């Protein structure tokens, strides 16, 4: 059987899942997608994601690759997979790629956003961190001057993070106020386990006045676990996009053109 490598873009709501990566006896995004592949081909297909997302984290543009039989063209493959996926997971892009393409190792950066809602919202409750007090956005933006560029983010990841080193290159980061919402946007070459949530949670404590901007700087420079970082809830975090060079041209897109 001839197998061709394909890249897939997937959108999901992470509320009901224990993250992207397979875990024994737990619902995960990878398990749901591989189950859909089995229903389609009646054989096992292993997928490789661009990276992990934690339990409860969402994605608008996660990317994975898989080697699949050549009998279904791209413009039908995404629709066929979606017919076997639950409603909170959808393939939104499919493209045949070079056999050497690797969703994780070929990615040059990842872009995440985190949303905070100042108030109460039933409709947004699964996608924002609801905070019921004013935050000092200027102080929170001041914190960003310490993290841009290359730094060791040991202080802002979980102790069980498995990696050769904990240096990440923060290429862009910004807090914006949009009505009652605060939107944090960050792009980097890589992220550590729970790193974005730890940065957000600690900056929120700066915004609340519990920490100063220089407390935040000191936590970063301690480069130790348990240095005082605070982890924000998972539900406000979204993996927006995975960037490649050259970027993937999607031969099929699940986004309708008006």
In which band, very low, low, confident or very high, does the pLDDT at 2 lie, cut at 50, 70 and 90? Answer: confident
Question: Residue 179: which region, alpha, beta or left (left: phi > 0; alpha: psi -120 to 50)?
Answer: left
Predicted confidence (pLDDT) at residue 257 exceeds the cutoff of 60: no
Give me the pLDDT at residue 47, please: 98
Spatial separation of the C-alpha atoms in residues 17 and 253, rounded to whole Å: 24
- Please state, rounded to an integer, the average pLDDT across all residues of the chain: 94
In which band, very low, low, confident or very high, does the pLDDT at 70 lie, cut at 50, 70 and 90? Answer: confident
The two tokens of residue 131 are 């905070």
Predicted confidence (pLDDT) at residue 258 exceeds the cutoff of 70: no
- What number of other Cβ atoms are within 10 A of residue 178's Cβ? 8
Percent of the chain whose pLDDT exceeds 90? 90
pTM of the full predicted structure?
0.95
pLDDT (tens digit, 9 = 90+) per residue, 11-68? 999 999 999 999 999 999 999 999 999 999 999 999 999 999 999 999 999 999 999 9
Among 110-114, 162-166, 196-200, the least confident range: 162-166
Predicted confidence (pLDDT) at residue 241 exceeds the cutoff of 70: yes
pLDDT (tens digit, 9 = 90+) per residue, 75-113? 899 999 999 999 999 999 999 999 999 999 999 999 999
Residue whose entry in the numeric block shows the structure tokens 């995004």: 29
Phi, psi of 55 (to 5 degrees): -55, 125
In which band, very low, low, confident or very high, does the pLDDT at 117 lie, cut at 50, 70 and 90? Answer: very high
Predicted confidence (pLDDT) at residue 220 exceeds the cutoff of 60: yes
* Mean pLDDT confidence for 154-164: 78
The two tokens of residue 202 are 């600690």
Predicted confidence (pLDDT) at residue 160 exceeds the cutoff of 70: no
Residue whose entry in the numeric block shows the structure tokens 């997928």: 47
The residues annotated with a catalytic role in the active site are 54
Predicted confidence (pLDDT) at residue 1 exceeds the cutoff of 80: no
Name, in order, each residue with C-beta under 8 angstroms of 125's C-beta and a sequence gap of 6 or more.
235
* Mean pLDDT confidence for 116-128: 95
Give me the pLDDT at residue 226, please: 81
Domains of the chain: 3-105 (3.30.70.580), 108-240 (3.30.70.660)
Spatial separation of the C-alpha atoms in residues 162 and 168, rounded to whole Å: 14
With 0-12 CB in 10 A as exposed, 13-18 as middle and 19+ as buried, what is 224?
Answer: exposed
Residue 201's nearest CA partner among 251, 131, 145, 132 is 131
């Amino acid at each position: 059987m001839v197998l061709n490598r394909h890249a897939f873009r997937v959108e999901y709501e992470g509320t009901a899942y224990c993250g992207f990566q397979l875990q024994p006896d737990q619902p995960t995004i990878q398990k749901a997608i591989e189950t859909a592949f089995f229903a389609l081909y009646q054989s096992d297909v292993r997928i490789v994601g661009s990276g992990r997302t934690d339990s409860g984290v969402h994605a608008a543009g996660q990317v994975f690759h898989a080697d699949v039989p050549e009998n279904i063209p791209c413009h039908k493959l995404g629709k066929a997979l979606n017919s076997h996926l639950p409603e909170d997971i959808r393939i939104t892009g499919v493209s045949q790629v070079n056999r050497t393409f690797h969703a994780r190792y070929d990615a040059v950066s990842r872009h995440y956003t985190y949303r905070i809602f100042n108030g109460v919202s039933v409709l947004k409750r699964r996608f924002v961190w609801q905070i019921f007090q004013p935050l000092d956005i200027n102080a929170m933006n001041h914190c960003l001057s310490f993290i841009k560029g290359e730094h060791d983010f040991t202080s802002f990841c979980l102790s069980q993070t498995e990696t050769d080193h904990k240096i990440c290159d923060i290429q862009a980061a910004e807090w914006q106020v949009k009505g009652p919402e605060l939107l944090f946007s960050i792009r980097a070459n890589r992220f550590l386990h729970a790193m974005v949530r730890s940065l957000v949670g600690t900056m929120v404590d700066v915004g609340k006045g519990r920490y100063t901007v220089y407390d935040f700087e000191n936590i970063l420079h301690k480069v130790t676990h348990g240095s005082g970082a605070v982890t924000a809830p998972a539900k406000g975090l979204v993996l927006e996009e995975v960037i490649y060079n050259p970027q993937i041209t999607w031969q099929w897109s699940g986004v309708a053109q008006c």
